[in-house]
Amino acid sequence: MEKRIYLNDHWRFCETFREEMLKKEFDASQLEEVRLPHTCKEVPYHYFDEHIYQMVSGYVRTIEAKEEWRGKEILLTIDGAAHYSEVFLNGEKVGEHHCGYTAFTIRLTEKLLYGQKNTLVVKVDSRENLNIPPFGYVIDYMTYGGIYRDVYLDIKNESYLSDVFVKPEVFLTKEKKAATAKARLASEISLNQMKPQLYARQSLRKRGLLVLEQQGEKEPFQLLGEAELCEGGNELSFELDEVELWSTDVPVLYELKTELLEDGTVIDEKVVRFGFRKAEFRTDGFYLNGEKFKIRGLNRHQSYPYVGYAMPESMQKWDADLLKRELGLNAVRTSHYPQSHYFLNRCDEIGLLVFTEIPGWQHIGDAAWKDQAVENVKDMVLQYRNHTSIILWGVRINESQDDDDFYKRTNEMAHRLDDTRPTGGVRAHKKSSLLEDVYTYNDFVHAGNNMGCEPKKNVTSDMSKPYLISEYNGHMYPTKTFDWEEHRVEHAMRHANVLNAVMGETDIAGSFGWCMFDYNTHKDFGSGDRICYHGVMDMFRNPKLAAIIYQCQQEKESVLELSSTMDIGEHPGCNRGSTYIFTNADSVRMYKNDRFIKEYTKEHSPYPNLLHGPILIDDFIGNAIEEGEKFTKKQAETVKKIMNATARYGLSNLPKSIYLMGLHLILRYHMKPTEAVVLYNKYIGDWGGTSTTYRFEAIKDGKVVKTIVKEPMTSLQIVAETDHQFLKEKTSYDVAAVRIKAVDENQNLLSFFEEPVCFKTEGPIELIGPSVTTLRGGMGGTYVKTTGESGKARLFIKNEQAEELVIEFNCECN
Ligand code: GAL
């Protein structure tokens, strides 16, 4: 039976590979000991040269091949090494791989010395002059280096199941939302070698639901049937009367167990987890289980501060959780390469749809380069096709030009290896040659004051084929957490504008915004500090204002946020500008110095297509003038309108209609401008007056579910949260993310607090990154990782102006 042994610990690493590492007498103990996932170079947060991670490095490890492995098949898998690897066993080259984003497996069976210690050396080239995708020209993301995913050995019997591709097909009876359906469960079974008299037996069980985090009881496997295996492809198929469907709301998973039998004995077994779902791109959009479904996603890179790509399971899963649960999205595009299976597994578990694609960025290389790209399609599809969450294969180099011969090959490869999913391929030009099933296009038309997206007919070269927007915003409006307020608001509004426009286009399948979080990039891009500030979150995954736009589109968690701190001094001329309420509540009540001003509902939002769009605050007065002054009702209304417009635009930028209203008051009622100033100071009271306290209450089902208070801060607090406190080493070390922010006594973010915070650890954890950092835009973060020892650990976070914080961790290691 299969046995998997993870080889993530006890590696020795050297930044410079040397031939002598391949010699028997080489003493690796002089090298640094490292654990995987590993980055060949830890990098600063920003302002560094991307050449520092470009090197040919060496990893050395001992494998003790047990005597009892003799006669078995021994397979070594490296899940991800960036970017060009050569593998040596006992000094002899046993394999190589030319892609930093796909896994590769090497058969060690005949090369291992059984009952002895063997030396495994991996030479990893992370230079960017390699003639493989994505290299060859400029790239807008750092590509890092090292063995950054798991490495493991599989010990198998002489005959084994090399793959089981599960192809569930769902038959929907009626075109309406259903939780169950009839299904056919087909699977393609591949063996490493064919022998007579080999049988496959399959059984099925529903996997405990991961809905609401409940693992649930595991059901026993139910036998489906068995069949003799024969030369030339084996497909088993079973009809099922009723299965529970996988959806983004209720992602029900099943497990198909395939046993390989020889002479009645089980000699191998593979369990594939999957869901039953019908995902279709049609001419007029995307359909999930027969229902029209608007894809709402963001693009995700797989990078983190300091360690680049090298983060273990928990951090991969956390990103999926953030996308689904914190940002309320239903989809992600893994730009611009296949990402960790831990990330994809989590997408399967929580119901997050995935568009994944081959590595590449705009540039297409020579014939050898293209061959590698076709190979990458093959590896991507073969390695990822059992992930239910994946609904589309990206088989073009992101934003490359047309190249029909090349793209015929990539399309054919994907279709040949997976006849259950369509292909797409991201381009940045309109009406290009469409060899794919879905036209996927980066629509950057939105510039703040124009249309949110292009209509389908302007873009696609074939109206009968489906259309999906694969990117928007991003470089059109880079935004830092420490930009001034109006800039951050504009960033948020642009995301709202595009989302709203896409929702209004009934024949667009949906969209993926650029992008989930800020990322380190090459010298040719970004803000000069090697960061592209394109995220709706910062690099530590702290939300910017734009993140709130997405959060509002879900209804599980109540959201209430204001686009402004209400500090007028942050605005030109001290005019408020436009202030928005971001909420998913039924209504929001606004109070000024405890006086009720107005109750806003969804209908006040100028975003008709959004479930919960931003709401503009258009009244800072309420009925105060009517009650407090001797005006007629109509007069009071006019005065109020003028005051509110002045607060928003400032005197010099008032719309013409407002000027006319003012003139009317002067001529008809003989009001003097000086009186107007008195009224303004009294009822708006911004510049020159004492500050105001604002309170907002979000109401849901008649109850106040959230309150925010905006008033000048008097005390500063540092708060921090971690994604998990129980750290467990499973296949490798574990990492917890810590997000930190400075807030006032009302828990409002202090956006311009950029002071140092110091970290200290106690117990079996280590920091990733520096022990002193500054907050940026009032936010920051760090990571702690386990050390291989169990016990209680603590992280201390100290800033001079605030009380020291302590986060406790519990570490469990084998
Ligand atoms: C696109 C590209 C992305 C990113 C983005 C920034 O052209 O596909 O990788 O660079 O622009 O907006």
Domain limits for position 747: 717-812
> Is 294 domain-assigned?
no
> Is 562 domain-assigned?
no
Q: Specify whether 537 is located in the same domain as 499.
A: yes
> Is 799 domain-assigned?
yes
Residue 195 has pLDDT above 60, yes or no: yes
Instruction: In the chain, count H helices and then E strands.
Output: 11, 49
Residue 416 has pLDDT above 50, yes or no: yes
**Residue of 401, 471, 473 with the most ligand 1 atoms within 8 Å of its CB, for mutation:** 471
Distance 446 CA to ligand 1 centre (A): 14
The share of the chain scoring above pLDDT 70, in percent, equals: 98
Q: Specify whether 24 is located in the same domain as 145.
A: yes
Task: Give strand ranges (E) for 290-352.
Answer: 291-292, 295-299, 331-334
Catalytic position from the list 375, 399, 490, 711:
399
Q: Specify whether 507 is located in the same domain as 374.
A: yes
What distance in Å separates the CA atoms of residue 758 and residue 741, rounded to the nearest whole number?
A: 13
The pLDDT tens digits of the residues spanning 423-480 come to 999 999 999 999 999 999 999 999 999 999 999 999 999 999 999 999 999 999 999 9
Nearest to 82 by CA among 310, 378, 344, 317: 310
> Positive or negative CA dihedral for 391, 392, 393, 398?
negative
436 is catalytic: no
> Is 297 domain-assigned?
no
C-alpha torsion 547→552→555→557, nearest 10: 50
Specify the CATH number for the domain of residue 744: 2.60.40.10
Q: Specify whether 695 is located in the same domain as 583.
A: yes
Distance 361 CA to ligand 1 centre (A): 9
What distance in Å separates the CA atoms of residue 351 and residue 356, rounded to the nearest whole number?
A: 15
Please give the pLDDT value at position 663. Answer: 87
| Residue 562 Cα to chain centre, angstroms | 25
> Is 284 domain-assigned?
no
Higher per-residue pLDDT: 89 or 683: 89
Number of domains in the chain: 5
**Which amino acid makes up residue 626?**
E
Residue 287 CB less than 6 A away from ligand 1: no
Residue 534 CB less than 6 A away from ligand 1: yes
Distance 594 CA to ligand 1 centre (A): 46
Q: Specify whether 388 is located in the same domain as 496.
A: yes
Last residue of a domain, one of 688, 710, 732: 710
Residue 449, burial from CB neighbour count under 10 angstroms (0-12, 13-18, 19+): exposed
What distance in Å separates the CA atoms of residue 372 and residue 366, rounded to the nearest whole number?
A: 10
Last residue of a domain, one of 525, 556, 587: 556
Residue 2 has pLDDT above 70, yes or no: no
262 is catalytic: no
Q: Specify whether 700 is located in the same domain as 783.
A: no
Whole-number average pLDDT of the chain: 95
SS3 of residue 186 by DSSP: strand
Please give the pLDDT value at position 125. Answer: 98
Residue in the structure block whose two tokens are 């469907």: 245
Higher per-residue pLDDT: 579 or 2: 579
Please give the pLDDT value at position 679. Answer: 86
Contact at 8 Å (CB) between 741 and 749? Answer: yes
Q: Specify whether 194 is located in the same domain as 121.
A: no
Last residue of a domain, one of 556, 587, 606: 556
The pLDDT tens digits of the residues spanning 199-209 come to 999 999 997 65
The pLDDT tens digits of the residues spanning 327-341 come to 999 999 999 999 999
**Residue of 140, 476, 533 with the most ligand 1 atoms within 8 Å of its CB, for mutation:** 140
Q: Specify whether 377 is located in the same domain as 525.
A: yes
What distance in Å separates the CA atoms of residue 18 and residue 414, rounded to the nearest whole number?
A: 39
> Is 299 domain-assigned?
no
Specify the CATH number for the domain of residue 117: 2.60.120.260
> Is 286 domain-assigned?
no
Distance 340 CA to ligand 1 centre (A): 21
> H-type helices in 523-632, by residue range?
545-551, 624-628
SS3 of residue 394 by DSSP: strand
What distance in Å separates the CA atoms of residue 743 and residue 751, rounded to the nearest whole number?
A: 9
What distance in Å separates the CA atoms of residue 271 and residue 201, rounded to the nearest whole number?
A: 12
Distance 612 CA to ligand 1 centre (A): 28
Q: Specify whether 8 is located in the same domain as 130.
A: yes
What distance in Å separates the CA atoms of residue 507 and residue 503, rounded to the nearest whole number?
A: 10
Please give the pLDDT value at position 215. Answer: 56
Query: Looking at ligand 1, which residue's alpha carbon is closest to its atom 3?
Result: 140
Strands 587-592 and 11-14: unpaired
Residue 398 CB less than 6 A away from ligand 1: yes
Q: How many CB atoms lie within 10 A of CB 154?
A: 16
Residue 475 CB less than 6 A away from ligand 1: yes
Distance 536 CA to ligand 1 centre (A): 14
Please give the pLDDT value at position 670. Answer: 83
C-alpha torsion 671→674→676→679, nearest 10: -120
Residue 561 CB less than 6 A away from ligand 1: no
Please give the pLDDT value at position 212. Answer: 44
Q: Specify whether 150 is located in the same domain as 203.
A: no
Q: Which atom of ligand 1 is nearest to the CA of 335?
A: 9
The pLDDT tens digits of the residues spanning 602-634 come to 999 999 999 999 999 999 999 999 998 888 999
Q: Specify whether 117 is located in the same domain as 223.
A: no
Tell me the three-class secondary structure of 232-295, residue by residue: CCEEEEEEEEEEEEECCCCECCEEEEEEEEECCEEEEEEEEEECECCEEEECCEEEECCEECCE
Residue 58 CB less than 6 A away from ligand 1: no
Average pLDDT over every residue of 178-201: 93
Average pLDDT over every residue of 308-312: 98
Higher per-residue pLDDT: 196 or 564: 564
The pLDDT tens digits of the residues spanning 161-183 come to 999 999 999 999 876 678 999 99
The pLDDT tens digits of the residues spanning 339-375 come to 999 999 999 999 999 999 999 999 999 999 999 999 9
Q: Specify whether 174 is located in the same domain as 248.
A: yes
Residue 514 CB less than 6 A away from ligand 1: yes
> Is 800 domain-assigned?
yes
Specify the CATH number for the domain of residue 400: 3.20.20.80
pTM of the predicted protein model: 0.97
What distance in Å separates the CA atoms of residue 440 and residue 427, rounded to the nearest whole number?
A: 7
DSSP 468-531: EEEE-BGGGS---TTS-HHHHHHHHHHHHHHHHHHHH-TT--EEEEB-SB-EE--TTSTTSSSE
What distance in Å separates the CA atoms of residue 448 and residue 570, rounded to the nearest whole number?
A: 21
Residue 474 CB less than 6 A away from ligand 1: yes
